[in-house]
Amino acid sequence: MQSRTGLLFSVVIFIFVSLILSVFKPAAFANPVTLKLFTFLPDIPPENVPIHMFMDKVNQKAAGQLVVQYGGGPDAIAPQDLAGATQKGVVSLACHIMSLADAVVPGARVIIHNELPLKEFRARAQDYIQGMFNEAGLYYLGLSHAVEPQTFNNLFSIKKPITKPEDFAGLTMASPSPLAFPLYRALNANPVFIPLHNYFVAAERGVIGGFVGTVGLVVQTGLHRVTKYVVDHNIHSSPDIFMMNLEAWKKLPKNLQDIMTEAAIEVEQEYPSYRKKEVLEYRKKMKEAGVEFVKFSPADAKRFLDLNRDASWAAEMKNSPERVAKLKELITK
């Protein structure tokens, strides 16, 4: 009789606890933290892939406590305004191009000149970069479109045959930010700021003679149909980052901050492999469309790459000498 009574008591307790948990567990997530992620890029693959990778990872890890939603691209906030909007708290979370973030974080665009493998880059430079962003009221999570060093961009010529660096002289060359301007000037080309999503119209109308970009961008925007030449010598490291408004970051509980950090690190580790496979497919499509991949002679290739490195660092040194000198020490071989 006592054993039955004990068993009945245990069952009652179990049901009672289950009811309590069923009532209070959902209540803990009744008002999850919601963050909208804004980006300077259109929401089309392959450029949006790491953005969705990051959102999916955060949402899965947070299990309802934190929800990251896509907020909008350049149609929602102009790329040149995104850093300021994040700094002011109008935007809490953003994927942004580093060279435009430089307007509010002087020296930030120098990160595009990183020469170190990704893990070494994070280990050596993360703390210093974080300090720069914190001073500006921002929190730096990490690279979004992470690639191995100096493999991100190429130069493209729409019509003019390119066989050596000097052939870019006189061309009007587009860039979505000032990142390529020093190289353009060193090549005696004419730099012009044009957002990525406006490249095609500018090329089609003859406003520009060339541009800087990725092979994925070229195929996905149809530029391979109006572009004839690409310099097959890569330049630049990843120019794109995930960042938050600092006050919005501080308001997150520690466990959610950890989830955001983990997701950013995982994107840095996983995206490069994805991009390598995609690049091969896009190169194939470009060749099928008649785009010519131009290899310079070994001497010209070295001169081209050295020109980019030297011109870029010289230009950066004029802006924030102390920060740039420190970053150069941290991120170059």
Is there a single domain that holds both residue 204 and residue 102?
no
- Per DSSP bridges, beta strands 33-39 and 66-72 are parallel
Same domain, 80 and 185: no
φ and ψ of 190, to 5 deg: -105, 110
Same structural domain for residues 77 and 220? no
* pLDDT score of 74: 92
Please state, in angstroms and as integers, the Cα–Cα distance from residue 24 to each residue in 12, 18, 166, 254, following that order.
Answer: 18, 10, 70, 21
In the DSSP assignment, the letter for residue 297 is P
Q: What whole-number distance in Å separates Cα of residue 59 and Cα of residue 90? A: 22
Nearest residue to 327 via CA among 312, 46, 207 = 312
Same domain, 263 and 251: yes
- What is the residue range of 269's domain? 27-146+238-274
Q: What is the domain-level CATH number for residue 220?
A: 3.40.190.170
38 and 187 fall within a common domain:
no
Task: Answer yes or no: is 315 within a domain.
Answer: yes
Shared domain for 139 and 269, answered yes or no, is yes
- State the pLDDT at residue 29: 54
pLDDT on residue 224: 94
Same domain? For 164 and 300 the reply is: yes
243 and 282, same domain (yes or no): no
Phi (first) and psi of residue 230, to 5 degrees: -135, 135
Q: Are residues 225 and 327 in the same domain?
A: yes
7 within domain boundaries? no
249 in a domain, yes or no? yes
In order of 212, 240, 288, the CA distances from 292 in angstroms are: 16, 27, 10
**Tens digit of pLDDT per residue, the chain (333 long)?**
444 444 344 433 444 434 443 444 433 456 789 999 999 988 988 788 999 999 999 999 999 999 999 999 999 999 999 999 999 999 999 999 887 888 899 999 899 999 999 999 999 999 999 999 999 999 999 999 999 999 999 999 999 999 999 999 999 999 988 889 999 999 999 999 998 889 999 999 999 999 999 998 899 889 999 999 999 999 999 889 999 999 999 999 999 999 999 999 999 999 999 988 989 999 999 999 999 999 999 999 999 999 999 999 999 998 889 999 999 999 999
Q: Please, are residues 134 and 246 in contact by the beta-carbon 8 Å criterion?
A: yes
DSSP helix/strand/coil, 151: coil
Task: Compute the C-alpha angle 211/158/212, nearest 5°.
Answer: 15
Query: What is the structure's pLDDT at 3?
Result: 45
Task: State residue 248's pLDDT score.
Answer: 98
- The residues, ordered by sequence, that sit 6+ positions from 163 with a Cβ below 8 Å of its Cβ are 294, 296
- Same domain? 181 vs 264: no
What pLDDT does residue 44 have? Answer: 84
